[in-house]
Each structure stands twice: as C-alpha cells, then as structure tokens.
Amino acid sequence: MVLRGYSLYFSTCRRYVRVFDLSGPQGFFKDITGRTPFPMLSRHDQTYDSSIAVTTSGEVLLVESDPRNRTWFRLYKKNPDVKNPHFACYTVTEVDSLGGETLLLDLGFTVPANKALSIEPDTIYFTRHYRPCQCARRDLDICAFNLVTKTLVRFPDLNKMNLMDARWFLPGN
C-alpha cells in the first residue's frame, strides 16, 4: 500500500492496483480505480521482490528487486500500448529513469530531487534488512541505488549506530 495525499494505492496479491479516495468524511472512502483494476505484470517470474510506488504526478510504478540482497532494481510503468490488460501476459514496460525524481522505496513514493539536500535524481533510497518482527538476525543496510549508473551506495556511518530498524523519510514543513 502507498498513501499519497488522500489517495491510497493498494496492490493485490495478483498485482492488480486499486486506488481509494480517502478525502471524504471520517470512515468513508471511495474506490476510484474504475471498472476494473489494472494488472502490473512484468516479464519476470514471481521470485523477485515486488512493490508499487507512486510518482509525484500519480503514476503507479512497479519496482522489482532480488529479495536476497537487493543489489539491483528494475522499474516499470504501465504500458499504454496494452489494449486489453486482462488478457495480456505483460502489462508494464521497463524504464531506466524516474524523470529526475527520487524514489523513497520504504515509503513508496517519489519526491523531487534536491542536490542542496543531497537527494540525487533517478535514485532509489531504501533500507535492506530483515525486520525485527521476523525474528531473524539484524542485517540492516541503508542504501541508495542509482538507476542511470546501476550503482549501489551504502551509508556505513548510519550502520554504526547499531539501529534495530530504519526508514528513509523527509521532514515536512
């Protein structure tokens, strides 16, 4: 799930994306997906880790990575050439750029890049680890993956803090 403003984007176990409008009165929401949700299906098998993300313009992206070590990412957007997505095997097309934006994968949305804040364009910021609730050994890795250069940068100084968990975030105004 991704919450962006008053819109809740929800990906089902079969990779269909539904959108709910939460701007109504408390306890009320409206499904604004349309008649049928759009499947986000790539050419790759289900052994990859997949999640959705939402751009600043509201476009839904499919993000795939290796679940064991997350040293690479594939990024997809809805393929506009698919005429009937419910009978298509693949409904997305791979992209190698975020259009100059930055993806905070832990939050599931993009933000404008900002060199003054060291927020690099076309970069995925994420934490790579097993969550404490999974009762696995702590394996925290705080990273950024540049989509253009296909390089991974780790932030080892943050790892020295001996954190149990971490998430990327941006402070608000």
The per-residue pLDDT for range 33-81, each reduced to its tens digit, is 877 677 777 776 566 778 889 999 989 999 988 777 677 888 999 887 7
Residue 51: count of CB within 10 angstroms of its CB: 16
Inform me whether the pLDDT recorded for 131 exceeds 50: no
> Looking at the chain, how many residues does it have?
173
Residue 83: count of CB within 10 angstroms of its CB: 7
In this prediction, residues 123-151 reach a mean pLDDT of: 72
Question: pTM for the complete prediction?
Answer: 0.78
